[in-house]
Structure formats: structure tokens, C-alpha cells
Structure 1
């Protein structure tokens, strides 16, 4: 295909050409005013001269027509997997490609689009922009989107960057789809342990009965409460946090008969349980270097409210002064060990001797406090096994080890026991990997026999040194030496006293990361990492239930002593359920409530405004219970204000082309130009001469 035009290359500067033109006009004007003959020929001669000086050329451009491009965007997102939408979409894609092929002169660019990055919903327009980034807008003849209409990145008309191309939407699904969904309007990220956190939720329906819906609320997989929610109205639900760390909350609305799916009937929220202020009661016996180590550790944390009192008189001192008169102030023992004992998060007795200061009923209160869920620690001194020691009070029912009565007073180096190497309280303590550990020696220990629980540290002659156990709902720690302070003072290089004390205190207060038997999961690097902490030498497979309901067993590999890990690559979005024996874990993958599943009923209304603004249209192509589709008739039009009708969709013939060749032919140079100019001049002279003879 050839196209013709003119181009100019002046032989003189433009200002000279303009002056010459003005002079010619003035001369021709004077001739006209004087009514001289031959004016027309003189004008043509001047015009020929000016044309010759402007350097005209005939331009012949050879262009090759380009085929029109039609973009077909296929929605493969999660919401397209329900009922028969996927089959309808595939059938529509095949039928559309066949119809475009019949039009002729069309290249089809198919763009597959799924869920957006970071699970932020269906991003068809982002995929369209990326797919057409290297295509000139004038070649695009139209865009077809095969989707259920649930698109989360629909731009305004001003954001349409594809020129005059119309947008057509072919909607899968069918009219009258039923769906119920639950939305978390407000979900706190943190809350105080033992206090209520308030969630705001709302139940929404498509084609539902609009009757109150029962919502079941679970905390860590266990039902916490049930509430009734009116569709479309917000409901506030208080739930108490039971422990520190992640508290996984599930909110599940009862199913709607005949609804698309129940996947969006559930919403998940993870709330981090934190303590307001840790209240610690430290009771010290006779003054000793160890109490300063404990006091410094507890006072260094601004989150700790410490109540500390010390018995200043050693038990062997003979003093007839009544005990109640020895205190510098009247200490509120009745209030602390009676009325307010349950307010403490941890009670610590450091080298305490029973001297009648605390009556037996207070010890009974401590026993009850622990069995109801409290935390209790004993640092045993030389008097632990004596008649006035704690073991022979009601607290003896809590202690996880029985003293033999022998006190070792010889150098020994604390070391991890076999179980201690796997227990999270002592595993990985700095210096523990060396044999013997790179810790300083101690010089005194109460020999004891373990009754229950686990000995994590051994001392002289492999006798238990640190024993942890559970008692009812509470926990007990027993340190069978009062010389931890040697590590704090840096004797012989010291030892990890601060880390050991911190871990022990946090284990007593049920810190989730220090549980000895626990199953947990977390996202890392796009994969779901499953971790099993156990004191056993081996860990069996973990049963996994994916959000889709698919079940499998995951084999774990040893990572550290007592720690086993496995990986689930590219997990589904939603809530995973992990279990092994009595242990369970709930792990949200991706956003806790993915945008893709918040709204699932197909709709033509979201895309209609943009489609109509570009001259396109929107059609439902499917019916309930069938994979068959009905597409509008396809036609091709030139420039038009509309490319859609009730039964047809049109593409816009762009008519784009590309230049393949270019030639220039000068028109006013050489012999031909000279002959024309001379002919006009001679003609004008001859006409004027003829006029003169006639006179």
C-alpha cells in the first residue's frame, strides 16, 4: 500500500523567500491596478519561481497494514473455582478465540490472571497492563475479560490507558446465587491476658432469608461462646484471652442452605496476649548474695511490680524479742498470703526458713494458688531439708524433689542433663555446648531425689540441681543450690545466670515459646514451617488439614535436640489445622480474611461502569447447573461511540500500519522546471507584445 504527499526543501532562507513573495505580490498588484494585460501569466511565472525556490518534492511512502490485536483476559482466581465457573470460563475462552479467528486480521493476546500478590484479591487490570506494556495503544482493537465480575483493581475511566479500545466483560456464574459471609469489622491485635477483648463482626448475605444467624466463636479451636447476628448489622463479641502469645480466634456463621461455599462463613483473627504488669512476690530468708541477683533481675524489667521482704534474723540466732516486733514495718502478710495471693504472677522463696512468721494456712493458700494455675519457685539453701525447712511445710506437697538430708559442700560444675539438652528453658544456653560447660563452679548443693517433673541441670555426682514440674494447673521450679550468685558475680568467668533465671521465670508464667511439648506453625519465605518441640527423642508425623479440607501427614526432621521441623511449600490461603496426638495448632496463611473470599456471588455490576464508558458491554454467559455458555455475536466496526448491543460485541478496527519504504521525487528542478518557468515568462512577454501591436 502506497501513500503520497509533498515535502519542501527551500533553496534560499525562508526570510528571502518571504521577501520575494511580497515583492511579487506588490508587482502583480500594481499591474492589476494599471489594468495591464498578461497579469495572470506573470503571476504564474512568479509562482513557478517561488515554487522552484521552495524545493518541492513528491513523497511516496510504502506502508504495510498491521493486524489488529485483541486482548483476552482469563480470570483464574480463587473465586472462579466454585460451582461450574471454571468450566464456563474455559468454554467461553475457546468459543471467543474461535469467533475472533473468523473475523480475520486479528491477533489474540491471551492473558491469564489469578489472585494478586500478597493475596490482595483479583487483579485483572494489573495483569492487562503488564501484558500490553509493549503494545502501541493504536493497535489494540478491544479487550475481553472472562470473569465472575469480582475484580478488586477496577480503575476509573481516567485510569483506562488503552486508548479507544472497548472493554467487554463476559460474566461466569448465574443469577440468583446464594452466599453468606462473615466480616470482621474490628479485630484487636493485642490484648491483656485474663481480660476480654472485643471484636466487631457483621454477617452479610446474597439472596438469604434475612433471619438472625448463629455465630460460633472458638478460641484456639475450643468453643468460647455463641452469639446471634442479624444480617447487615454489626455485633460486638467479647472474648477472654487465656494465655500469652498468639490466641487464634475463629468466628463461624451457620451455613446458608444452597449457598455457593462455606469458605467465607469463617473469619480468623490472631490476638497477641500480653501481661499488663507482672506482679512478683519475692520472699528472702536470711540475707545472702543470691537475693541481690534475683532482685536485680526483677527490678531491671519496668514491666515487673516487685513485692520483696527479707527475714533479717537467721534461725540459729537466740533472741527473745517476739517475731512480730522485729519487723521495721508491720508487713501485710495476711493481705499478701490471704486476700491478694491470686493477684501475683510469680511467687519466689529464696533460702526461706519457717520460723513461725507464716502460719500453716498461708502455706496452704500457696499450694492452692499453684494448683489453680499459679507460678512458684524455690531457691533451696542449707536449711531446705531441716525441720524448719520448706519441705516439711504444706509446700512440701508441691516440691518436685525430696531432699535426702545430705548437703554437698565441694566444688562441682553444673551441666545439662539429657532432658535439659532438649528442654527450651536450658537448650542452647551460652557455653552449654562445651564439655564440660564453660561455666564456673559452685560449692554447695542439696542432694535430692526427683519425685516428678524433669531435672534440667545436674550438679555434684549427677544429682539433680534444677527441677521443673507441673502441679495441677500451675508450675513449680526447684533450684537445689543457693550459689547461682557466683555466676552473677563473674566468678571463674561466671555463667548464663540472667538467661537461665529469665527463661525459668517465663516458663513458670507459661510463656508459649518455652513450652516443652508444643506444636506450632508460622509462615517463612512463602512456605509454612511446622515446628514440634518435645522432650522425646523422636517426633512422629503431623496431621495437616488444609483450608480446602484436604488432609495429609507431614514428616518432620530433627533441627536441634528436642526440636523438629517440616515445611509445606506454597500453602493455600486460609486456616491450616495441625495436630499430633493431643496437640493442635491453628495457623492462618496469608491475610487472616483474604480479600478474594470476602465476596463470592458473581456480579456484572462492578465492571459495567468502566465497560460502558469505553463503549463496551457486559453480558452473563452462563446458567445454573450447566457448563454451557452463550456469547454475544462478534463483529468489527470502524470508529464508533459504541461497540456493544443487546446481542453483539464489536472490536474497533484500528487500521494501524508500519512504513516499509520512502522515496522523494523533486518537482521543480532540472530541465522540466526550467522549461515551465521560461514558458510562462515567454508567454507573458508575447501576450504583452501582441497587445502593444494591436494598439
Structure 2
């Protein structure tokens, strides 16, 4: 027990002094001149002062607080090598036993570096764990900390740690361990598709060895090169990004005899491939209401370079007008479909029919273009069901459905099929969640037979309306109605034509965000 006295005045100290000091002076003057009753007045003043000071007697019972000692244990993947886990567990048990003998210590065990989920990073952040262990402890109670680790710490401060208490480390492993690892020194996060990307990497050895080493370079799981590197030196690397979206560049070296582990003999870099502007060729067979819808949509997309031709004067139209008096330009068929066809990411035939504008051989070139990775979209109108249909040309090899010759002029609501409700092109299309859908009707469907690929939208009488298919390395889409412009014009409230048309175009051009089975990767370690 500790007894003490404390004053808790009834009024503030300044007011107390203002009241008592003049009275004390008067009492002292009376005592000095020995006035009658001055002693009693002085005693009364002391009693008044004692009452105003309000003295309080305290009886304190104190219990000493324990000092907190943290044991920070490294549980990262590198601790699983050899017998490091056993050494760590034995060291932890020994420290707990020894520190447990001292009643003045509160021992806290903190484990760090162990990932609880596949997407978490497995960096060894012991100093972050140390800070967390003492977050609720006042500085006066921090007794110290002991780290049990293999020495690989990713958040070690560059200088002396900001820790005002003893800090010790027990290092696991053996003195003569040998290990090599590879890491990226410079790896940009983005790169242009089809363009070389400069990177740097380094091979590091625990024994500070030098000499040559072969490094295997893989992009998206496919080995593309073997580089000759020098251990300990930063080496340049140049890779070509093959596609848009997430790309994985992996470096790997062989395991040497006696090497501790080959887990760190690989390094990966995740690079997002960015395409330069997508080139689209739009060929309209004739002027019609829906032509401007496609044109406006593609022109409004900043990532698309559009080349658009509309056939205004087919070859069979001969009215005697001299060529030099026509304001039309010739359709550069050879330049577009032979010389530069590979430059286009997507070709759209909008209500196009075979009218000898394109030589019959050029349809073979288009089919070959699709087989080798190109994209083709048929926006069909009544012409697709007629005698001049492009389905009657060599292009039929690339088409997902043949026409029946039937044109169904009947009002209907475009609806998603069961597959279309899951497909990234039509999934979650604005207005599709209600029945009937919250968009306007269309009034024409082109009949087809034996559809291939995926039917994601259906039209009148549950006929196929939107087909998506793969041909070789390329993709083909077929929209079996020319009524999409009704949505663009706001008929009966319109519909999500921009969302639908853009998704169709970008799926055909293999944009990764619209892949049916989209895989994402993340680097750990």
C-alpha cells in the first residue's frame, strides 16, 4: 500500500489565490501589530484555506506490469527448405521455455510470411509483423524482440530499425548452403502487341560466383528463346508481346548439383498487351437505314480505325453516264482484299451481295484470311436469302450457317438464348433481365439452316438471330436481321445497340475482356 495526500480545491487555483492572499496579508499585519483577536482570525483563515484546498488522502494498491517480448517467426516458403522448419520449431520452443521462467515477461509469438490464400503475395515482412505485435503496447513496456528467420526479409529498413529496444535474430540453415536465383530488374507493366519490349534481369548466386548460364525465355507457356547470361550481371532481354490482355513472361535456369532449391530458379513478369488502333473494313452493299448505325458506332470508338465503302453503283448499272462525269470513286478491291487484307482486324459485310464487284477469287482470300486468324461479321439482310447471296460464293466455307431462302417479316422481341445468358457478348445486356425484354421489337429475320457455332440470340419463332463461331484461328459472326437501326433510332424506347454491336466487334477481334474462358494470372513470391 502507498499512502499519499492530494489537493483538489473547490475553486480554481487563481481564484483561490485571489481570495486568500489579501486575507493572509491582513492576518499577518494584525499579528505584527499584536491586535486583539488577530490569533483567532489567523486560525480561522487557516481553517478556511484548508477547507478550500480540499485535501484528499489516497491509498494506492500498485501491481507491476509485465514487459512484452515478441518472438517473430518466419514461416515463408524458403523456411520449408531442408530442415529449416525443424530448426525454427526447436528454436521457438526453446525460447518460449527459457523466457517462461521470467514472470516479468509477457511473451507474444507472431508468425509472418505465410500466405493464407493463393492470390496473396508471400513476401517475408518481419518488420511489419514486429510493428503489429507492439501496436497496443506503450513504449515503456516493450522489452525486446527475437526474430527466427533464414535472413531473407523483404521489408528490412535500409538503416537502423526504428525500434527502441533490444532486437535479436536467430538465423536458420547451414553455413555452406548454395543457391542461385533469377529475378527481373526491370519489367514494364504494359507493352504494344507485336512490338519488341525491352526488359532486364539478373541471375544471383549466394557464393558470389561468376560465369555463363543459360536462361530459358517463355511467353505464355511457350519457349521462345534461350539467352546466355552472366551470373551477377544485369542482362538485357527483348520479347515480343503476342496478344492483348495479360501476358506471362517467364525466365528459368537449370538447377545445379548441390543447389539448395530450384524454387527460385524461375521468375515471371505479368505484362498487359495493348493493341494499337484496331483496323476495321466495313463494306455496305447498298445505302440503307442501318448503314449509318454501324458507321457511327465504329467511328465513335477511339480504338478503331474505320475504312468504309458503300456500293452505290454496281457494275450492271449502265445508264450511259460518262465515267469522267461520275462523282464516285472506284472500289479498290485488289488493294483491300489482296494486298492489305492482313492489315485489317475485322471485315464487316453489311447487307452485301455478290454483284461482280468482287472477283470470285477474292472470296477465297477472305476465307483464308479468317482461317489464319482474321475476323468476319455478316450483317445480313434480305440479300443473304436471295440468288446473289454471298453464301453462294467460296466464302461459304467461312460462314456458320447457310440461308434457306426464307425472309420472315414478323414482329418479335430479340431474346437471349440459354447460352447467350452466359456468353460474354450478350451476358447482362441492358434490358435482357425482364420478359419481354426491355427493348423494342424488330420486324425481320433471315432464315438459315444447320447453324454452326453458338446461337446467343434468337428471333421470330425462336430462329437463330446472332451466331458466333470459330473458323480455324479466326472468328465469324452473323447477325441475321437488318433491324438493329430501330434500337438506334429509339423506336419503342430503343435498345442497347451500342453495347451489343461493340461487344460483337470486340469479341471477333479477340479482345481478352470478352473471352468465354478468361484466365487471369498473378505472380507470387
The answer, yes or no, to whether TM exceeds 0.5 is yes
SS at match of 1:88: helix
Change (3 A) 1:392 1:206: same
Task: Map residues 375-454 of structure 1 onto 2, 5 A cutoff.
Answer: 375-454=375-454
| 1:579-605 alpha-carbon deviations (Å, 9 max, x no partner) | xxxxxxxx32xxx353xxxxxxxxxxx
| 1:326-368 alpha-carbon deviations (Å, 9 max, x no partner) | 5623443321111111000111111122222221232222111
Per the TM alignment, residue 440 of structure 1 is displaced from its structure 2 partner at its CA by: 2.1
Task: Map residues 227-376 of structure 1 onto 2, 5 A cutoff.
Answer: 227-313=227-313, 319-320=319-320, 328-376=328-376
Structure-2 residue corresponding to 1:88: 87
Structure-2 residue corresponding to 1:192: 192
Whole-Å separation in 1 of the counterparts to 2:208 and 2:515: 46
Listed as ranges, the gaps of 5+ residues in structure 1 are 3-12, 14-60, 522-586, 595-695
TM-score for the superposition, normalised by structure 2:
0.79
Whole-Å separation in 1 of the counterparts to 2:149 and 2:483: 72
- The answer (yes or no) to whether the contact 1:72–1:146 under 8 Å persists in 2 is no
Structure-1 residue corresponding to 2:15: none
User: How many residues were matched structurally?
Assistant: 466
SS at match of 2:384: coil
SS at match of 1:122: coil
SS at match of 1:289: coil
Whole-Å separation in 1 of the counterparts to 2:361 and 2:111: 71
Whole-Å separation in 1 of the counterparts to 2:316 and 2:459: 28
Change (3 A) 1:307 1:88: same
Structure-2 residue corresponding to 1:464: 464
Higher relative contact order (CA 8 A, sep 6+): 1
Task: Map residues 9-20 of structure 1 onto 2, 5 A cutoff.
Answer: none
Change (3 A) 1:502 1:273: same
Whole-Å separation in 1 of the counterparts to 2:459 and 2:141: 83
Whole-Å separation in 1 of the counterparts to 2:461 and 2:181: 64
Per the TM alignment, residue 404 of structure 1 is displaced from its structure 2 partner at its CA by: 1.3
Change (3 A) 1:373 1:109: same
Per the TM alignment, residue 384 of structure 1 is displaced from its structure 2 partner at its CA by: 1.8
Change (3 A) 1:171 1:327: same
Task: Map residues 610-625 of structure 1 onto 2, 5 A cutoff.
Answer: none
Structure-2 residue corresponding to 1:520: 519
Whole-Å separation in 2 of the counterparts to 1:132 and 1:441: 67
Structure-1 residue corresponding to 2:10: none
- The answer (yes or no) to whether the contact 1:100–1:106 under 8 Å persists in 2 is no
- The answer (yes or no) to whether the contact 2:468–2:478 under 8 Å persists in 1 is yes
- The answer (yes or no) to whether the contact 2:74–2:126 under 8 Å persists in 1 is no
Whether 1:107 and 2:143 are equivalent positions in the alignment is: no
- The answer (yes or no) to whether the contact 2:209–2:231 under 8 Å persists in 1 is no
SS at match of 1:182: strand
Whether 1:147 and 2:140 are equivalent positions in the alignment is: no
- The answer (yes or no) to whether the contact 1:385–1:392 under 8 Å persists in 2 is no
TM-score for the superposition, normalised by structure 1:
0.61
Structure-1 residue corresponding to 2:28: none
Structure-2 residue corresponding to 1:647: none
Whole-Å separation in 1 of the counterparts to 2:462 and 2:138: 80
SS at match of 2:385: coil
Whole-Å separation in 2 of the counterparts to 1:403 and 1:136: 81
- The answer (yes or no) to whether the contact 2:507–2:515 under 8 Å persists in 1 is yes
Per the TM alignment, residue 204 of structure 1 is displaced from its structure 2 partner at its CA by: 0.8
Whole-Å separation in 2 of the counterparts to 1:371 and 1:386: 26
Whole-Å separation in 1 of the counterparts to 2:464 and 2:342: 30
Task: Map residues 579-618 of structure 1 onto 2, 5 A cutoff.
Answer: 587-588=521-522, 592-594=523-525
Structure-2 residue corresponding to 1:664: none
Change (3 A) 1:336 1:92: same
SS at match of 1:383: helix
| 1:540-577 alpha-carbon deviations (Å, 9 max, x no partner) | xxxxxxxxxxxxxxxxxxxxxxxxxxxxxxxxxxxxxx
Change (3 A) 1:299 1:86: same
- The answer (yes or no) to whether the contact 2:314–2:355 under 8 Å persists in 1 is no
CA RMSD of aligned residues (A): 3.2
Whole-Å separation in 2 of the counterparts to 1:63 and 1:411: 91
Change (3 A) 1:96 1:467: closer
- The answer (yes or no) to whether the contact 1:194–1:243 under 8 Å persists in 2 is yes
Whole-Å separation in 2 of the counterparts to 1:410 and 1:157: 79
Per the TM alignment, residue 416 of structure 1 is displaced from its structure 2 partner at its CA by: 2.2
Listed as ranges, the gaps of 5+ residues in structure 2 are 3-20, 22-58
Change (3 A) 1:411 1:326: farther
Question: Which structure: larger Rg?
Answer: 1
Whether 1:75 and 2:73 are equivalent positions in the alignment is: yes
Structure-1 residue corresponding to 2:484: 484
- The answer (yes or no) to whether the contact 1:97–1:108 under 8 Å persists in 2 is no
SS at match of 1:90: helix
- The answer (yes or no) to whether the contact 1:75–1:147 under 8 Å persists in 2 is yes
Per the TM alignment, residue 420 of structure 1 is displaced from its structure 2 partner at its CA by: 2.4
SS at match of 2:386: coil
Per the TM alignment, residue 372 of structure 1 is displaced from its structure 2 partner at its CA by: 0.7
- The answer (yes or no) to whether the contact 2:121–2:524 under 8 Å persists in 1 is no
- The answer (yes or no) to whether the contact 1:73–1:124 under 8 Å persists in 2 is no
- The answer (yes or no) to whether the contact 2:72–2:147 under 8 Å persists in 1 is yes
- The answer (yes or no) to whether the contact 2:70–2:133 under 8 Å persists in 1 is no
Change (3 A) 1:463 1:358: same
Whole-Å separation in 1 of the counterparts to 2:466 and 2:94: 75
